[in-house]
Structure 1
Amino acid sequence: MLNLLLQIFFLVILQSRGSASAHCNFYDIEDNTITIKCSKVEKEALLSVREELIDHFGVLSSWGAGDCCKWQGVRCDNTTGHVIELDVSGISVSDFGGPKGKLSSSLVRFQYLNHLDLSLNNFHQEIPGVIGSLRKLEYLNLSYSKWERASISPDFRKLTKLQVLDLESSDITLENLDLLSHLYSIRYLNLNSVNLSTANDWWVQTISKLPLLEELHLSNCTLPSILVPSSLNTSNYSRYLSVVDLSSNINLLPSSIYPWLFNFSGSLTHIDLSHNNLPTSLPLEFGNMVRLSHLFMDSSRLVGEIPRSLGNLSNLVELKLAYNSLTGSIFTLMKDFSKNSGKSLRYLDMAVNCFTGPLVMQGFPSLKKLTLQWNQLDQLLLEGVFPNLQELDLTGNRLSGSVPDQLASHFPSLRYLSLESNEFNGTLPESISNISKLEYFFIGSNHLEGVITESHMLGLSALREIILSFNKNLAIKFSLTWIPPFQLDVISLCEVKQGPHFPKWLQNQHNFSVLDISNSGIVDKIPVWFWDLSSSLKELNLSNNKIHGVLPDISPFKFAVLDFSSNNLSGPLPILPPDVLTLDFSRNRFQGTTSVLCETNSLTYLDLSNNLLSGNLPNCSDGFSTLNVLILGNNNFSGSIPESFGSIVDIRILNIRDNILDGEIPGSLKNWKNVQVCDLGGNKLSGKLPEWIGMEWKGLIFLSLGFNTFSGKIPSSFCDLGNIKILDISRNKISGTVPKCFNKLDEMTTDTNFASTITSSYPYTSGGMSKVYILSASIMWKGIQSKFRNILGLVRCIDLSSNNLSGRIPLEITTLKGLIGLNLSRNYLSGTIPPNISLLSSLDFLDLSSNSISGIIPFSLSQLDSLGYLDLSYNNLSGKIPTSTSNKLQTFNASSYIGNSGLCGSPLPNGCPGDVIPGVPLFDHQDIAQDELFTSGFYASLAFGFVIGFGGICGSLLLNKSWRNVYFKFLSEMYDKLYVTLAVKKAQLLRCCLN
């Protein structure tokens, strides 16, 4: 009874206090307890807030009837009933397609509010100044919110009780940070991704005026470099600052940011300077930060050795220095860390640096993760026990020798072990089976040999992923009845021998999503049971085996990647999964049409080249609209290129060469804004070369239209293909002249170093991963159809051979100093060889044969030291073949010059007038005059016979070009044959004499 009277008395006091305010609270008394409800005024204010917000997901559906203190996102004071917390985050989400919400001005009624969360919303208004009137606010979160005008009202400086302010990624503009300096109670300040590029030194001065600040987050703020003023009173700095995140601010200078940080040496526990531009070594002063537990400086361009003083940090828990250029001995570094930091260190990441020497593992009892991949470590020595180590990544070093036999005893808790891309040899120890907790085991790309049996796997019941690929001398031999103790998710065994039969041990794996047993020596059919195994299989690679048979309907699967290339599969294409992204069935014996492809809707990569497919090209715009790479070459496709191909707007690589396609190139292909490679060679395509190719395909690198029947002139717009590296229009019916504007082909005008490969990335899996496609291309090179891949990026080539081009070789073409190959053969070109041809300083292959080029061979041609192939045959060249100090032009065979009746000099057998032949005396004209045979009648008869012969035969050859070419070609060929025969006989005779 006394307790009830006390509650009633307390209620009277509250009601009398409430009568003096605008807020009238409601109370219920049941079972001797008082239930406090929110006031009518605040309830109406909440309803006003709900009315103007756009609640896309119905989060505020509870806002209506009943006590508003029980509504979602609302919390009231247990004593007064006033609303003290309001959370409407994620109501009007910023990436939702619907309308934007607004924040009601009724917010001003919540004068007792201390917690306000407006994050993850998209508001159709500026930031309400009314927020500045909520004087009791301690927590304000506007992160990831979007506003029409994102500037903060000066009234925000009145929030003097604010302890937490989160503006991360909110599109808010803070031109003057001075208003933040009035928030004296701030303990947590997050301005990540807020543009502070105009802040100058204000941010330093602002922080100096926040005496209680504990956490400062200024990541990705485009902070300007600072010069800490000497007059700045550092005694005002917070003594509580423990967390500083300045990552991804590349303008910060090490000369200023380091001294500023060291002002907080006694309090800082977390420092994040990752992804900055700090090309210096780590300062020694970091070793004086006795409380430092987390130091992140990955991707900051650090150089030099890590100071040994860093090993003095006895509280260091996590150190991330990956992706820098740090050097030094890993042995010395680990030894220093083991003295003091070794006791506390749990996470050590120093991947992608330049550390050298042996890695000696000892003295880190707390270490959970050690990442040292892609350094230059050469040896792994185990001397201690790491009871808590769960992840060890030594990928991409130079570790050699055998895989340590006692891994299990040194790492009893190991779950992740990667020794990929090293130089380990020998056999894999069976003791690997004793690492009972191992889930991820990666040891691909080494030099392991021998056989893996059940003994290696018996204890690995927790194993989920295994990568043994690219150990060419490694084999797997499990008994046919063996049942593995594990269920794998990822199985990567490329180049690990398992054949000739399909691996039967897979019959007991039911959960794998990735299987790669390519190039495994399998000569078998895919067994029926395989297709009933794993419904979660997404990536399947069986390429480079000798698998035969016909594929079943695989549409029920959820494949993202299918690679059956380089096998002996036959029959029609199977019905495919609708969501497959990557499909490679190349180099098989598939037959029939490709209509099944239209059932797919997500393809990004399709390669069906080198099969026996026929019929029309697939005409399915919906199924192909997502393609980046389309390769259908070396089949029997006929008909025309479908107009629907124009809808493949993201295509980068197209190769449908060596089919029997006809018709013109459809105009819809002008929609291809990102195409890099177009290979239509080896078909029966006709019509004029489209003008729009040069106007729309600005990123084109490789264009092959050779071996078709195109006619007309080369469009001038082709000169606008500034990125073109290889242009092949050979073996068509192209007329007109060689364009002078080829000097605008920018990629060919530079002789700087090139990347050896040409690559293009495309979406590879449904998980968002991309894969790099290395382009290969077939080019007529030095008279032979050659395929380039790994060095294709080094080739710069123009091939206009076997057309009807006429006119002169333009002088402008000599500006292409990066040109490697030039083939203008078998045309009707006339005029002379450009005298400054030596400007083509990179030229390796030059073919001007079978034209009507006249004049002399310019001396500058002999100065092309890089020239490896030359053919000037069957022209009208004359004069002496130039010689130089290197005798470059004399290194080519005589066949490079035949068919030019006026040419003389080495390597041709006929000498030039005035040449002195060693061992042959000059004629004495006096002796000839004394010979009675040479009378005046003799000379008259000789002259008359010459006139008759010339008029009857030689004159006809001069007047008829085709006769002349045939005649001289016949004589040259006969001479070459006679010359070679005599040379062979002479060599045989000499050998006989010497023997």
Structure 2
Amino acid sequence: MGMSSSAIIFLLLVTCTVCSTILCVANSNSLSSNEEVDALLKWKVTLKSQKTNNLIVLPSWTNDNVNLNLSAQKTASPCNWYGIKCNENGSVNRLNLSSSFLSGTLDHFSFSSFPNLICIELTFNSFSGIIPSEIRHMSKLSYLYLGSNQFEGTIPLEIGELRNLEILDLSKNQLNGSIPTSFGQLSNLISLSLSENQLNGSIPKEIGNLTSLEWLVLSTNELSGPIPSSIGKLKSLLGLRLDSNKLSGPIPQELGNLASLSGLQISSNQLNGSIPRSLGNLKNLEKLFLYDNQFSGPIPLELGKLTLVQIDMSNNSFSGSLPDEICNGGRLEVLILINNNLTGRIPKSAYNCSSLRRVRFDGNKLTGDISMSFGVYPHLYYISFNDNKVSGELSDNWSKCENLSTIQMGGNQINGNIPPSLGNSLQLEELNLSSNDLVGEIPKEFGRMTRMLELNLSNNRLSGGIPQELGSLTELTSLDLSMNKLNESIPSSFGDCSDLIYLNLNSNGFTNEIPIQIGELEGYLLLYRV
């Protein structure tokens, strides 16, 4: 049975409507693509290449093959251009020109011409000028990377209108002014990095509204005022960096609510008060940097319950003793507490803390028997507790620390002989045992430590002659044996230490004249008295 005329007419109308719709969509995509091409080419004209051997900017960005007909125009699609990606409809959705040696500005970038752009990456170039407020037209933008350029001026408030933004990186520029309070509207933001700019003013409390935030990096600016307690609401936060600013006041108790936090860096500010005990709740905390502030009071015992990996609390006024359990987590690698007022014994857990790599207790008043406080550390490469009140004798354990390159133990109350086994530390480069109460002779085994650069045994009660074997330390740049009871003659083998710059043998009881070989050394300072 044949179709009725009315059915045929209906089918023709439907077919025409569908075709018309397809053509409209095609024309719409074509128009959108053409507008994007025009916008990109107009911006390209304003850019310059920083490569001296290639002055052509973005050579793939061209419309040389464009004719007037539609089929030719399709070949001018920007989707195959360097740094450009498109969605399934052929509209630009990603622009990545990072590390492309470009300079220029965003003044002639038509933000409104890219309605589908979700990602802009311009990092590691030399872009300058301001960030235009027109950026608000990019309503779909999720990723904005403008770091490591030379952008200046203030951060536009309009960035707060980009509600889909997940990552915002404006670090390492020359931006000034304050952090916009409008950032508190970016509820999808996961990472915010504004470090290494010239931002001032206070940290807006509205930052506490960014409940999806995992990384907050505001370091190396000129931010002042207190740390907002509202930051304690950022329960997803993994890393918080506020270091190298002018922040003042105490650490808010509320930071103890950041249960996911793995790194807290608030060093190099003007913060004061004591460490809140609530930080003991940060069970995932691995890195705690509080150095160069004005903190005081005891270090809370609660910190000993954490599995910290790196601790630096140097240059404060902390007092009392260290928590005995500070290394009980078995993961501590870096422990730096220089220049505080700490007293008491070295923590008990330090003896078996085999994970340690770098330890510094310089400039405190710590006590205890050195032979009972320190064990064998397979990964340790640097240890210093100059200027404390540690006593006891040096044990053979130090020679078993196979990666140890620096030992600084000057200014303590260490006594007894220097163990000859220390000469087995062939990797040792710096050894300072000055200003202690060491006796006996300098071990001839020290001649094995041929990588030694600086050796300081001054201000002890060492006696006997200087071993001839020390002449084997041909990389030595500094040798201080002053203020001991050394005698006999000065070894002529020192003439083989051609890199020696500083030699101090003052206040001993040497006999005979200075060997002529020492006089032939270039650039040395010799302090000598019989």
Q: TM (normalized to structure 1)?
A: 0.43
1:438 aligned onto 2:117: yes
* Contact 1:465 1:489 survives alignment (8 Å): yes
Deviation at residue 522 of structure 1 after TM alignment: 1.6
Q: Which whole-Å CA distance do the structure 1 matches of 2:336 and 2:156 have between them?
A: 45
1:761-910 alignment to 2 at 5 Å? 796-884=429-517, 887-888=520-521, 891-893=523-525, 896-898=526-528, 900-901=529-530
User: Which whole-Å deviations, capped at 9, do the CAs of 1:198-255 have from their partners, x for residues lacking one?
Assistant: xxxxxxxxxxxxxxxxxxxxxxxxxxxxxxxxxxxxxxxxxxxxxxxxxxxxxxxxxx
Distance 1:623 1:648, change over 3 A: same
Residue in 2 that maps onto 1:451 = 130
1:589-608 alignment to 2 at 5 Å? 589-594=270-275, 595-608=277-290
Secondary structure of 2:495's aligned partner: helix
Deviation at residue 465 of structure 1 after TM alignment: 1.3
Q: Which whole-Å CA distance do the structure 1 matches of 2:419 and 2:100 have between them?
A: 52
Distance 1:449 1:832, change over 3 A: farther
1:678 aligned onto 2:359: yes
Residue in 2 that maps onto 1:226 = none
Secondary structure of 1:736's aligned partner: strand
- Which of 217, 221, 240 lines up with 1:541 in the alignment? 217
User: Which whole-Å deviations, capped at 9, do the CAs of 1:410-429 have from their partners, x for residues lacking one?
Assistant: x9644344333453334346
* Contact 2:495 2:518 survives alignment (8 Å): no
Deviation at residue 621 of structure 1 after TM alignment: 5.5
- Which of 465, 476, 488 lines up with 2:143 in the alignment? 465
Distance 1:420 1:623, change over 3 A: farther
1:491 aligned onto 2:171: no
1:689 aligned onto 2:319: no
Deviation at residue 490 of structure 1 after TM alignment: 0.8
Q: Which whole-Å CA distance do the structure 1 matches of 2:447 and 2:325 have between them?
A: 41
* Contact 1:591 1:612 survives alignment (8 Å): yes
Q: Which whole-Å CA distance do the structure 2 matches of 1:865 and 1:489 have between them?
A: 59
* Contact 1:386 1:412 survives alignment (8 Å): no
Q: Which whole-Å CA distance do the structure 2 matches of 1:464 and 1:480 have between them?
A: 17
Residue in 1 that maps onto 2:392 = 712
* Contact 1:593 1:616 survives alignment (8 Å): yes
* Contact 2:184 2:208 survives alignment (8 Å): no
1:618 aligned onto 2:251: no
* Contact 2:163 2:185 survives alignment (8 Å): no
Deviation at residue 459 of structure 1 after TM alignment: 4.8
Q: Which whole-Å CA distance do the structure 2 matches of 1:482 and 1:731 have between them?
A: 56
Residue in 1 that maps onto 2:38 = none
Deviation at residue 608 of structure 1 after TM alignment: 0.9
Larger radius of gyration: 1
Deviation at residue 564 of structure 1 after TM alignment: 0.8
Deviation at residue 386 of structure 1 after TM alignment: 7.1
* Contact 1:392 1:416 survives alignment (8 Å): no
Q: Which whole-Å CA distance do the structure 1 matches of 2:85 and 2:107 have between them?
A: 10
Residue in 1 that maps onto 2:4 = none
Deviation at residue 521 of structure 1 after TM alignment: 0.9
Residue in 1 that maps onto 2:49 = none
Q: Which whole-Å CA distance do the structure 1 matches of 2:155 and 2:119 have between them?
A: 20
User: Which whole-Å deviations, capped at 9, do the CAs of 1:365-388 have from their partners, x for residues lacking one?
Assistant: xxxxxxxxxxxx967422556748
Distance 1:872 1:437, change over 3 A: farther
Q: Which whole-Å CA distance do the structure 1 matches of 2:207 and 2:487 have between them?
A: 69
* Contact 1:602 1:623 survives alignment (8 Å): no
1:656 aligned onto 2:337: yes
Secondary structure of 2:326's aligned partner: helix
Deviation at residue 663 of structure 1 after TM alignment: 1.6
Structure 2, gaps ≥5 residues long: 1-52, 63-74
Deviation at residue 675 of structure 1 after TM alignment: 1.3
User: Which whole-Å deviations, capped at 9, do the CAs of 1:694-747 have from their partners, x for residues lacking one?
Assistant: 33x222111112111111111122211111011111100111122211122243
* Contact 1:848 1:873 survives alignment (8 Å): yes
User: Which whole-Å deviations, capped at 9, do the CAs of 1:737-758 have from their partners, x for residues lacking one?
Assistant: 222111222433xxxxxxxxxx
Residue in 2 that maps onto 1:583 = 264
Structure 1, gaps ≥5 residues long: 1-376, 394-405, 749-795, 902-995
Q: Which whole-Å CA distance do the structure 1 matches of 2:268 and 2:415 have between them?
A: 37
Q: Which whole-Å CA distance do the structure 1 matches of 2:225 and 2:369 have between them?
A: 44
Secondary structure of 1:530's aligned partner: helix
1:737 aligned onto 2:417: yes
* Contact 1:460 1:486 survives alignment (8 Å): no
The sequence identity of aligned pairs, in percent, is 27
1:631 aligned onto 2:263: no
Q: Which whole-Å CA distance do the structure 1 matches of 2:216 and 2:337 have between them?
A: 25
- Which of 186, 193, 204 lines up with 1:527 in the alignment? 204
1:475 aligned onto 2:107: no
* Contact 2:313 2:336 survives alignment (8 Å): yes
* Contact 1:606 1:631 survives alignment (8 Å): yes
Deviation at residue 613 of structure 1 after TM alignment: 1.7
* Contact 1:829 1:853 survives alignment (8 Å): yes
Residue in 1 that maps onto 2:29 = none
Q: Which whole-Å CA distance do the structure 2 matches of 1:391 and 1:579 have between them?
A: 41
Greater relative contact order structure (CA < 8 Å, 6+ sep): 2
Q: Which whole-Å CA distance do the structure 2 matches of 1:391 and 1:536 have between them?
A: 34
Residue in 1 that maps onto 2:291 = 609
* Contact 2:325 2:349 survives alignment (8 Å): yes
Distance 1:857 1:417, change over 3 A: farther
Aligned-residue Cα RMSD (Å) equals 2.9
User: Which whole-Å deviations, capped at 9, do the CAs of 1:639-675 have from their partners, x for residues lacking one?
Assistant: 1222221423111111122111112123233342211
Deviation at residue 513 of structure 1 after TM alignment: 1.2
Q: Which whole-Å CA distance do the structure 1 matches of 2:286 and 2:318 have between them?
A: 21
* Contact 2:155 2:177 survives alignment (8 Å): no
2:364 maps to amino acid = N
Q: Which whole-Å CA distance do the structure 2 matches of 1:615 and 1:887 have between them?
A: 55
Residue in 2 that maps onto 1:563 = 241
Deviation at residue 509 of structure 1 after TM alignment: 2.8
Aligned length: 456
1:975-986 alignment to 2 at 5 Å? none
User: Which whole-Å deviations, capped at 9, do the CAs of 1:447-487 have from their partners, x for residues lacking one?
Assistant: 333333234x355333211222222x321445557864563
Secondary structure of 1:684's aligned partner: coil
